[in-house]
């Protein structure tokens, strides 16, 4: 049986050689994460207490730090369509939730939306790919409750003051009945200043949500 498995693996590898998305090293063809163990080990976990958003009285938790390996991998995940990286990112997020159970003491999971034009360009919302396995693991419903009402400039091209103005009124609640009185976990891939999370959280609260907690894969603040 072992021999048959080994032959099958070699055959798959011949057809679809698999290399680590981080360092390019050849991998077992059935590797779940497409990332070798040293590359997974080089993603730094976040030991800091939750970040208090400046624009809303809300806490934001993050599983890892946005630097080095995780920064490079997130860029690949978002811009080079290596969406399978969502598997390792969401696994690390699930590990973080297991240490912070208040993150799943909630009724509903939702994500930071993309504007429909950007969604068409990218073809997927990266935050939804991270939120899916979390919703499944903890059996909490996941819904798109927000929409991006207008296109905004890329936040990383703007000063701190400009970021706030850029986002003002940019998000809209899709259906207030879905969020009314609910405790919500808002998921995004990266928190840089917290401005986007803050604006989304404020929109959810203004739309009737009872509470909002934010959770990102990585934090750069
Ligand atoms: Zn590697």
**CA of residue 8 to ligand 1 center, whole Å:** 23
pLDDT at 98: 96
Q: What is the pLDDT of residue 181?
A: 97
Q: Provide the Cα torsion 175, 197, 155, 93; round to 10°.
A: -110
- What is the C-alpha separation between 113 and 71, in angstroms, rounded? 21
CA distances from 21 to 26, 40, 70 (A): 10, 10, 11
> What tens digit of pLDDT does each residue of 199-213 get?
999 999 999 999 999
Please state, for a pLDDT cut of 90, what percent of the chain lies above it: 72
Start and end residues for every CATH 3.40.50.2020 domain found in the chain = 43-219
Mean per-residue pLDDT, 153-180? 87
Residue 132: the pLDDT is 98
pLDDT top residue among 220 and 15: 220
In this predicted structure, what is the pLDDT of residue 121?
A: 87
If you classify domain 43-219 with CATH, what class do you get?
Answer: alpha beta
Q: Measured in angstroms, how far is the CA atom of residue 41 from the centroid of ligand 1?
A: 9
Task: Return the pLDDT at 173.
Answer: 97
Count how many Cα atoms sit within 13 Å of the Cα of residue 123 in the half-sphere of its side chain: 6
Using 50, 70 and 90 to split pLDDT, how confident is the model at 178?
Answer: very high
Tokens of 141: 């419903």
- The arithmetic mean of pLDDT across residues 123-149, rounded, is 96
H helix or E strand, kind and range, residue 208: none
Q: How far apart are CA 38 and CA 139, in angstroms?
A: 31
Distance 26 CA to ligand 1 centre (A): 8
* Pick from 174, 180, 184, 121: nearest CA to 149: 174
pLDDT tens digit sequence for 22-81: 999 999 988 999 999 999 999 999 999 999 998 788 999 999 999 999 999 999 998 766
For residue 73, the CA-to-ligand 1 centroid distance in Å is 11
Q: Which two tokens stand for residue 44?
A: 């730094």
Please tell me the distance between residue 27's alpha carbon and the centre of ligand 1 in angstroms.
9
């Amino acid at each position: 049986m072992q021999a048959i498995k080994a032959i099958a693996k070699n055959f798959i590898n011949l057809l679809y050689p698999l290399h680590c998305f981080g360092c390019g090293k050849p991998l077992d063809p059935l590797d779940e994460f497409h990332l070798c163990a040293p590359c997974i080990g080089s993603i730094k976990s976040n030991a800091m207490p939750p970040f208090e958003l400046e624009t809303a009285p809300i806490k934001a938790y993050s599983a890892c730090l946005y630097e080095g390996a995780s920064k490079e991998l997130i860029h690949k995940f978002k811009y080079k369509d290596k969406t399978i990286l969502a598997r390792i990112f969401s696994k690390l997020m699930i590990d973080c939730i297991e240490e912070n159970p208040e993150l799943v003491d909630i009724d509903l999971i939702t994500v930071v939306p993309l504007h429909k034009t950007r969604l068409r360009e990218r073809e997927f919302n990266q935050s939804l790919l991270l939120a899916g396995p979390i919703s499944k693991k903890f059996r909490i419903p996941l819904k798109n409750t927000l929409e991006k009402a207008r296109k905004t400039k890329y936040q990383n091209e703007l000063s701190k003051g400009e970021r706030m103005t850029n986002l003002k009124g940019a998000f809209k609640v899709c259906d207030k009945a879905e969020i009314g009185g609910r405790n919500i976990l808002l998921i995004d891939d990266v928190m840089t200043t917290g401005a986007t999370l803050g604006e989304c959280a404020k929109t959810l609260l203004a739309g009737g949500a009872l509470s909002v907690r934010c959770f990102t894969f990585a934090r750069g603040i």
